Amino acid sequence: MAAGWRLLFSLLALLQAAGRTRSSEGPFPSATTIKSWVEKMQDDLVTLARTASGVDRLAEIYMTHRDLYTVEANNARQLVEIAARDIEKLLSNRSKALVDVTCRMIACDFMMEDELIS
C-alpha cells in the first residue's frame, strides 16, 4: 500500500514540475531530469506490482518452508493432454445434463398438455 502512495506522490510531483516548466519560470526539464523521473516512476511501478501481486510474500513463504516443497520437471505434452481430456469430459457431462434437462422439460410440457386436454 505504501508503494501505491509513493507512486501517486511521484506522479503528482512530476505533473507539478511539468506544470511549472510550461510557464515562464524556466526552460523545459533536461533529458537527464526527465530520464531520472521515468526511472523513479518505473521503480515505483515495479514495487507496486510486486507488492500488489504478493510475489515477494510467495517467495518468502517458499524460502521459509522450502523443505515442504519439491520442484520437479514436468512433461508439458502430457499436461496438455490431461487438461484437454478433462475439458472434453466436462463438456460431455454438460451436454448430457442439458439433454436431460431438455427431455424433462418436454415431458413436463406433454404432461401439462395432457392435463389440459382431459
- Percentages helix, strand, coil for the chain (3-state, rounded to 5) are 85, 0, 15
- Each residue's pLDDT tens digit, 84-117: 999 999 999 999 999 999 999 998 888 888 787 7
- Each residue's pLDDT tens digit, 8-35: 667 667 666 666 555 556 678 888 988 8
- Contact of 3 with 51, CB cutoff 8 Å: yes
Number of H helices, E strands in the chain: 4, 0
- Contact of 44 with 7, CB cutoff 8 Å: yes
Q: Which residues of 28-65 are buried (b: 16+ CB within 10 A; e: fewer)?
A: ebeeeeeeebeeeeeebeebbeeeeeeeeeeeeeeeee
What pLDDT is attached to residue 90? 95
pTM of the model: 0.36
For residue 107, the one-letter residue type is: A
